[in-house]
Structure 1
Amino acid sequence: MLTRTLVALFFLLSLLHNSDGQFADYCIADEQTPEDEVVQAMKWACGNGADCSAIGENGVCYLPNTVKDHASYAFNSYYQNMKHKGGSCYFNAAAILSDLDPSHNSCKFEYLP
Protein backbone atom coordinates (compact mmCIF):
# COMPACT_ATOMS: atom_id res chain seq x y z
CA MET A 1 0.00 0.00 0.00
CA LEU A 2 2.77 2.45 0.92
CA THR A 3 4.66 1.64 -2.29
CA ARG A 4 1.56 2.29 -4.41
CA THR A 5 1.01 5.61 -2.62
CA LEU A 6 4.62 6.65 -3.19
CA VAL A 7 4.45 5.72 -6.87
CA ALA A 8 1.27 7.77 -7.27
CA LEU A 9 2.88 10.72 -5.47
CA PHE A 10 5.97 10.61 -7.69
CA PHE A 11 3.77 10.39 -10.77
CA LEU A 12 1.78 13.47 -9.73
CA LEU A 13 4.94 15.39 -8.94
CA SER A 14 6.41 14.50 -12.33
CA LEU A 15 3.34 15.99 -14.01
CA LEU A 16 3.88 19.26 -12.16
CA HIS A 17 7.56 19.56 -12.99
CA ASN A 18 9.25 20.72 -16.15
CA SER A 19 11.74 18.36 -17.70
CA ASP A 20 14.56 20.20 -15.93
CA GLY A 21 12.99 19.46 -12.54
CA GLN A 22 11.84 23.02 -11.88
CA PHE A 23 8.30 24.20 -11.36
CA ALA A 24 7.29 26.59 -14.11
CA ASP A 25 6.03 29.87 -12.82
CA TYR A 26 4.38 32.32 -15.16
CA CYS A 27 3.10 35.66 -13.90
CA ILE A 28 -0.30 36.56 -15.34
CA ALA A 29 -3.01 39.14 -14.73
CA ASP A 30 -5.53 38.25 -12.05
CA GLU A 31 -8.99 38.26 -13.64
CA GLN A 32 -10.54 39.45 -10.38
CA THR A 33 -8.59 42.73 -10.34
CA PRO A 34 -10.41 45.80 -11.70
CA GLU A 35 -9.21 46.71 -15.20
CA ASP A 36 -8.00 50.21 -14.25
CA GLU A 37 -5.70 48.71 -11.60
CA VAL A 38 -4.37 46.16 -14.10
CA VAL A 39 -3.65 48.98 -16.59
CA GLN A 40 -1.70 50.96 -13.98
CA ALA A 41 0.29 47.88 -12.97
CA MET A 42 1.01 47.06 -16.63
CA LYS A 43 2.30 50.60 -17.24
CA TRP A 44 4.57 50.24 -14.23
CA ALA A 45 5.89 46.86 -15.40
CA CYS A 46 6.59 48.17 -18.92
CA GLY A 47 8.56 51.06 -17.46
CA ASN A 48 10.51 49.04 -14.91
CA GLY A 49 12.04 45.99 -16.55
CA ALA A 50 9.43 44.32 -18.75
CA ASP A 51 10.04 44.11 -22.50
CA CYS A 52 6.66 45.24 -23.79
CA SER A 53 7.59 45.51 -27.47
CA ALA A 54 5.72 42.26 -28.27
CA ILE A 55 2.39 43.77 -27.14
CA GLY A 56 2.79 46.89 -29.28
CA GLU A 57 0.47 47.35 -32.26
CA ASN A 58 2.65 45.32 -34.66
CA GLY A 59 4.03 42.94 -32.02
CA VAL A 60 3.68 39.15 -32.04
CA CYS A 61 1.57 39.31 -28.85
CA TYR A 62 -0.66 42.26 -29.79
CA LEU A 63 -3.61 39.95 -30.48
CA PRO A 64 -5.83 39.36 -28.70
CA ASN A 65 -5.88 43.07 -27.97
CA THR A 66 -7.22 42.93 -24.41
CA VAL A 67 -5.96 44.48 -21.20
CA LYS A 68 -5.75 41.07 -19.55
CA ASP A 69 -3.67 39.53 -22.34
CA HIS A 70 -1.33 42.50 -22.68
CA ALA A 71 -0.91 42.81 -18.91
CA SER A 72 -0.20 39.11 -18.56
CA TYR A 73 2.59 39.39 -21.11
CA ALA A 74 4.03 42.50 -19.42
CA PHE A 75 3.78 41.02 -15.92
CA ASN A 76 5.46 37.81 -17.01
CA SER A 77 8.22 39.65 -18.87
CA TYR A 78 8.97 41.75 -15.78
CA TYR A 79 8.81 38.74 -13.47
CA GLN A 80 11.07 36.53 -15.59
CA ASN A 81 13.61 39.36 -16.03
CA MET A 82 13.60 40.42 -12.38
CA LYS A 83 12.75 37.38 -10.22
CA HIS A 84 16.41 36.53 -9.58
CA LYS A 85 17.02 40.16 -8.59
CA GLY A 86 14.22 40.29 -6.02
CA GLY A 87 11.33 41.14 -8.36
CA SER A 88 7.96 39.58 -7.60
CA CYS A 89 4.68 38.77 -9.29
CA TYR A 90 2.55 40.98 -7.08
CA PHE A 91 1.80 44.25 -8.89
CA ASN A 92 -0.45 45.50 -6.07
CA ALA A 93 -2.45 42.24 -6.23
CA ALA A 94 -3.10 42.60 -9.98
CA ALA A 95 -1.17 39.42 -10.88
CA ILE A 96 -0.89 35.79 -9.85
CA LEU A 97 1.56 32.96 -10.49
CA SER A 98 0.46 30.11 -12.73
CA ASP A 99 2.16 26.87 -13.67
CA LEU A 100 0.31 26.83 -17.00
CA ASP A 101 2.15 28.31 -19.98
CA PRO A 102 -0.03 31.18 -21.29
CA SER A 103 1.71 31.21 -24.70
CA HIS A 104 -0.58 31.11 -27.72
CA ASN A 105 0.01 30.98 -31.48
CA SER A 106 3.22 32.93 -32.21
CA CYS A 107 3.08 34.72 -28.83
CA LYS A 108 5.55 32.91 -26.59
CA PHE A 109 5.77 33.76 -22.90
CA GLU A 110 9.31 33.57 -21.57
CA TYR A 111 10.17 31.23 -18.73
CA LEU A 112 13.52 31.37 -16.98
CA PRO A 113 14.26 28.71 -14.36
Structure 2
Amino acid sequence: MSTILAKILLSIVFILSISRNSDAQFEDYCIADEQATEDVLQNAMNWACKNGADCSAIQDYQSCFFPNTTKDHASFAFNSYYQNMKHNGASCYFTAAAILTGLNPSHDSCKFEYLP
Protein backbone atom coordinates (compact mmCIF):
# COMPACT_ATOMS: atom_id res chain seq x y z
CA MET A 1 0.00 0.00 0.00
CA SER A 2 1.38 3.39 -0.89
CA THR A 3 2.08 5.88 1.86
CA ILE A 4 -0.37 8.36 0.37
CA LEU A 5 -3.20 5.82 0.45
CA ALA A 6 -2.27 4.84 4.00
CA LYS A 7 -2.39 8.50 5.10
CA ILE A 8 -5.79 8.96 3.49
CA LEU A 9 -7.18 5.86 5.21
CA LEU A 10 -5.75 6.94 8.56
CA SER A 11 -7.34 10.37 8.14
CA ILE A 12 -10.73 8.82 7.38
CA VAL A 13 -10.53 6.53 10.40
CA PHE A 14 -9.56 9.47 12.61
CA ILE A 15 -12.45 11.63 11.40
CA LEU A 16 -14.94 8.80 11.88
CA SER A 17 -13.70 8.10 15.41
CA ILE A 18 -14.09 11.75 16.40
CA SER A 19 -17.66 11.97 15.14
CA ARG A 20 -18.67 8.74 16.88
CA ASN A 21 -17.12 9.56 20.22
CA SER A 22 -18.20 13.16 20.61
CA ASP A 23 -21.93 13.70 20.34
CA ALA A 24 -21.67 17.04 22.16
CA GLN A 25 -19.88 18.67 19.26
CA PHE A 26 -23.18 18.74 17.39
CA GLU A 27 -25.23 20.46 20.09
CA ASP A 28 -26.57 23.80 18.99
CA TYR A 29 -27.89 26.58 21.16
CA CYS A 30 -29.64 29.71 19.89
CA ILE A 31 -28.49 32.90 21.60
CA ALA A 32 -28.80 36.67 21.12
CA ASP A 33 -26.41 38.20 18.63
CA GLU A 34 -24.07 40.70 20.31
CA GLN A 35 -24.66 43.11 17.41
CA ALA A 36 -28.45 43.25 17.75
CA THR A 37 -29.94 46.40 19.25
CA GLU A 38 -31.91 46.38 22.50
CA ASP A 39 -35.17 47.16 20.67
CA VAL A 40 -34.70 44.33 18.17
CA LEU A 41 -33.83 41.88 20.96
CA GLN A 42 -36.82 42.96 23.06
CA ASN A 43 -39.28 42.63 20.17
CA ALA A 44 -37.89 39.25 19.12
CA MET A 45 -37.92 38.00 22.72
CA ASN A 46 -41.54 39.09 23.16
CA TRP A 47 -42.46 37.21 19.99
CA ALA A 48 -40.58 34.06 21.08
CA CYS A 49 -42.22 34.06 24.51
CA LYS A 50 -45.68 34.25 22.90
CA ASN A 51 -45.00 31.61 20.24
CA GLY A 52 -43.47 28.54 21.86
CA ALA A 53 -40.67 29.55 24.21
CA ASP A 54 -40.99 28.74 27.90
CA CYS A 55 -40.02 32.10 29.40
CA SER A 56 -40.94 31.32 33.00
CA ALA A 57 -37.26 31.01 34.03
CA ILE A 58 -36.54 34.63 33.06
CA GLN A 59 -39.40 36.08 35.11
CA ASP A 60 -38.61 38.10 38.24
CA TYR A 61 -36.14 36.27 40.47
CA GLN A 62 -36.48 32.89 38.76
CA SER A 63 -33.47 30.68 37.86
CA CYS A 64 -32.46 32.69 34.75
CA PHE A 65 -33.53 36.18 35.81
CA PHE A 66 -29.91 37.19 36.56
CA PRO A 67 -28.09 38.70 34.87
CA ASN A 68 -31.09 40.94 34.31
CA THR A 69 -30.25 42.17 30.80
CA THR A 70 -32.24 42.14 27.60
CA LYS A 71 -29.45 40.20 25.86
CA ASP A 72 -29.35 37.47 28.51
CA HIS A 73 -33.12 37.13 28.71
CA ALA A 74 -33.41 37.12 24.91
CA SER A 75 -30.77 34.38 24.68
CA PHE A 76 -32.77 32.19 27.03
CA ALA A 77 -36.05 32.86 25.19
CA PHE A 78 -34.50 32.32 21.75
CA ASN A 79 -32.96 29.03 22.81
CA SER A 80 -36.17 27.83 24.44
CA TYR A 81 -38.16 28.60 21.30
CA TYR A 82 -35.53 27.05 19.03
CA GLN A 83 -35.21 23.84 21.05
CA ASN A 84 -38.99 23.44 21.31
CA MET A 85 -39.70 24.20 17.66
CA LYS A 86 -36.64 23.18 15.60
CA HIS A 87 -38.12 19.78 14.74
CA ASN A 88 -41.09 21.62 13.24
CA GLY A 89 -38.85 23.65 10.94
CA ALA A 90 -38.09 26.63 13.17
CA SER A 91 -34.78 28.40 12.77
CA CYS A 92 -32.55 30.52 14.97
CA TYR A 93 -33.07 33.77 13.11
CA PHE A 94 -35.36 36.17 14.99
CA THR A 95 -34.99 39.00 12.44
CA ALA A 96 -31.21 38.59 12.52
CA ALA A 97 -31.12 39.03 16.31
CA ALA A 98 -29.86 35.51 17.10
CA ILE A 99 -27.05 33.14 16.21
CA LEU A 100 -26.30 29.46 16.74
CA THR A 101 -23.46 28.41 19.00
CA GLY A 102 -22.02 25.06 19.96
CA LEU A 103 -21.09 26.37 23.40
CA ASN A 104 -23.57 25.71 26.16
CA PRO A 105 -24.59 29.13 27.54
CA SER A 106 -25.86 27.72 30.85
CA HIS A 107 -24.53 29.42 33.97
CA ASP A 108 -25.03 29.03 37.71
CA SER A 109 -28.63 27.85 38.28
CA CYS A 110 -29.70 28.90 34.75
CA LYS A 111 -29.73 25.82 32.53
CA PHE A 112 -30.28 26.23 28.80
CA GLU A 113 -32.19 23.31 27.36
CA TYR A 114 -30.79 21.22 24.52
CA LEU A 115 -33.03 18.76 22.68
CA PRO A 116 -31.36 16.41 20.18
- TM above 0.5, one fold? yes
RMSD: 1.9
Structure 2 residue corresponding to 1:63, chosen from 63, 66, 74: 66
Structure 1 residue corresponding to 2:12, chosen from 3, 6, 14: 6
Measure the CA separation in 1 of the matches of 2:21 and 2:77. 27
Partner of 1:83: 86
Normalized per residue, the structure richer in helix is 2
State percent identity of aligned pairs: 62
Partner of 2:99: 96
User: Secondary structure of 1:31's match?
Assistant: coil
Partner of 1:51: 54
TM (norm. structure 1) is 0.86
Partner of 2:33: 30
Partner of 2:23: 17
CA drift of 1:12 comes to 5.4
Which runs of 5 or more structure 1 residues have no equivalent in the other structure? none
Which runs of 5 or more structure 2 residues have no equivalent in the other structure? 1-6
TM (norm. structure 2) is 0.84
Count of residues in correspondence between the two structures? 110
User: Secondary structure of 2:99's match?
Assistant: strand
Bigger-Rg structure (1/2)? 2
